[in-house]
Structures are given as structure tokens and as C-alpha cells.
Amino acid sequence: MHWDDLRIFLAVARAGSISGAAKRLDVQHSTVSRRLRALEERLGARLLERRKSGYVLTDAGEELRVSASRMELEFLRIEGALSSQDCRLAGELHVSAINNMASSVLMPMFASFSKRHPEIRLHVEVSNRYVSLAERQADVAIRLTNTPLETLIGVRVTTVASTVYGERAYLRALRAAGGEPEWLGVECCGFHKSWTQTACPEYEHRFFVDDTLLTVAALRQGLGLAYLPCFMGDGVAELERFCVPDPDLDLGLWLLFHPDLRRTRRVVAFREHMMSEVTAQSAAFEGRIPSCRNGASG
């Protein structure tokens, strides 16, 4: 039994599909399928079953997953120990980040890191959901939270402020008329959904979006009000703050990684780079802008 075969098996088990595992490992779909079949033949047992929702583990597959995960952790410990003694900065680095941040404010930071360390192959993967760093779904996770998991090591690099935004002409008309605002039905994350329900408890919406970038696009069309992080809302010329940021809505921006990777040089290099870059733009994250740029002072 070869470790590469187990690595492929773990990728399929975690992704729930051959295509997802192939993308994660950066190999051909046929390679994953062939290696998985060969592993099952050598073991004489079915490891996965195909369902409509994807692949699920058999009893034998679950037993192998537990054992292979323990082996993976040992590899990570060895890799971390060796990497701390290696002066080179090279290898794979998988970073999981929130979509709206990865495609906007964080992308220049990722790009400058990649240019500075060309031997590190940087994989940026977007997800607003929980990713298991223990199962190597990512090496580093960039997340907005005030309660990071205790099993992870992390650093809070800044505070991200949020407030309510609307299109400038819409807000002028709303303030002139003095009526009740329309609220977008926002379902992109638990934070924005909860804040919107508090602001609009009747939950009467005519337009729904499930992504922050869609929220920006809908607001630009004058469809109502919605919460946005200030680093996004303040950067859109057509939008204006409806009110000043509420400190109770502040969230921490965290860099999270598994304890076994704390000494891995490429993880350390990425952490230090991102801390420096984010600190340089802390005013944008914290919503500290001149009041003349928006109708509401902030």
C-alpha cells in the first residue's frame, strides 16, 4: 500500500466526488478513478459507494479513513519539523479564503506573496463554509469570526467593520420621502442574515441574494438596503453608508492553521506577509474613512 494511493483515497472521501478530488490534487479525473479502483482491488474491499449526492464511505472505507488520517498527521509533523530546518521556501500552500475578500482586497496580497516566493505553489480556494484544517482541506484558513476553534492556532490580524449601504440616488429619495426602506433578503452568511433579520424582523423581501458580490450588484441597481463590510461598500462609487458602523457588528479577521504546521516555513512566511499587508490597510478594514466620502459620518 502506497501513501500516494491513500492520499487519493482521502481526497475522494473528503470531496465526495472523483472530480473534486482531482481538482484538489491537480491530477486527471481518470488518474484518481484508476488509482482508487486499484486500491480497492489490492485490499479486496469496496471503500466507497456511489450515491446521487456523491460518494459515501463503506464501513471498510471509514475504517481506512481513520487510519489514513492518522498517517497523514504523522506526515504533517515530519514535514513541519523538516521544514523548520530547511532554508528554502518551496512547496504547496493551500489557502482557504472568503469569496468576497479573496476576489477583491486580498488578491493583491496573494499576488505579491506569490511574486516574492516563486517556488511556493499557492492555491487559493474560496469557501464561506468551515474547512477542516486537521484533514488538510487547507493549510491556512482566512476567516471572519469572533470565536475561532480552540483546536487551531491563529492570529487576529485586524477588525472588519460593517454597516448598511444603499445606492446614492435611492438613499436621497428615501431620506426625502421619509418612508420605510426596502431591505434585500441576504443569505450569503450567518452574520449578514442575522443582522438583516434584526433590522427587518418581518422578513418581507422582494429580492434575495446569496453572495456578497451579488449584494453589491443589487444595491447598485437601487433595490434597497443591505449590510456590507466597509472595505467593500466604501470602495463602490455608487454606494453610500446609510448609517455609521456599529461596533457590535465588528468581526475579527483571523489567519488560522493547524498546530502541526506552526513551524512550516511557507506557512510562517505567508502569515508574516499577510499580517504586514493587512496592517497597512487596517483603515479600510476598520471602516475609518473621511466623512466627506459618504452621506453618513464614520
Per-residue pLDDT tens digits for 129-175: 545 555 556 788 898 888 876 556 788 999 999 999 999 999 999 99
CATH of span 91-160+251-285: 3.40.190.10
Q: With the C-alpha atoms ordered 24, 25, 30, 35, is the resulting torsion angle positive or negative?
A: negative
How open is the CA angle 242-191-175, to the nearest 5 degrees? 15
Which CA distances in Å does 151 have to 3, 67, 81, 183, 248? 26, 20, 20, 38, 26
Chain center to CA of 228: 16
The rounded distance, in Å, linking the Cα atoms of 90 and 23 is: 21
Per-residue pLDDT tens digits for 49-81: 888 778 889 999 889 988 888 887 777 667 666
- DSSP 8-state assignment for residue 290: -
Other beta carbons less than 10 A from residue 298's beta carbon:
18
List the chain domain ranges: 3-83, 91-160+251-285, 162-249
Q: Does domain 3-83 sit in CATH 1.10.10.10?
A: yes
Per-residue pLDDT tens digits for 167-219: 999 999 999 988 889 999 988 888 888 898 888 887 778 899 888 999 999 99
Q: What is the pLDDT of residue 237?
A: 94
Do domains 3-83 and 162-249 share one topology? The answer is no
- DSSP 8-state assignment for residue 166: E
| Confidence grade of residue 115 (pLDDT, cut at 50, 70, 90) | very high
Q: Does domain 162-249 sit in CATH 3.40.190?
A: yes
- Exposure of 248 by Cβ count < 10 A (0-12 exposed, 13-18 middle, 19+ buried)? exposed
The rounded distance, in Å, linking the Cα atoms of 37 and 287 is: 53
Q: What is the mean pLDDT of the chain?
A: 85
- Exposure of 295 by Cβ count < 10 A (0-12 exposed, 13-18 middle, 19+ buried)? middle
pLDDT at 84 exceeding the cut of 60:
no
Can you give the pTM of this predicted structure?
0.69
Which CA distances in Å does 13 have to 8, 36, 54, 136, 298? 9, 11, 10, 12, 48
The least confident of 13-17, 61-65, 117-121 is 13-17
- DSSP 8-state assignment for residue 281: T
The least confident of 4-13, 155-164, 224-233 is 4-13
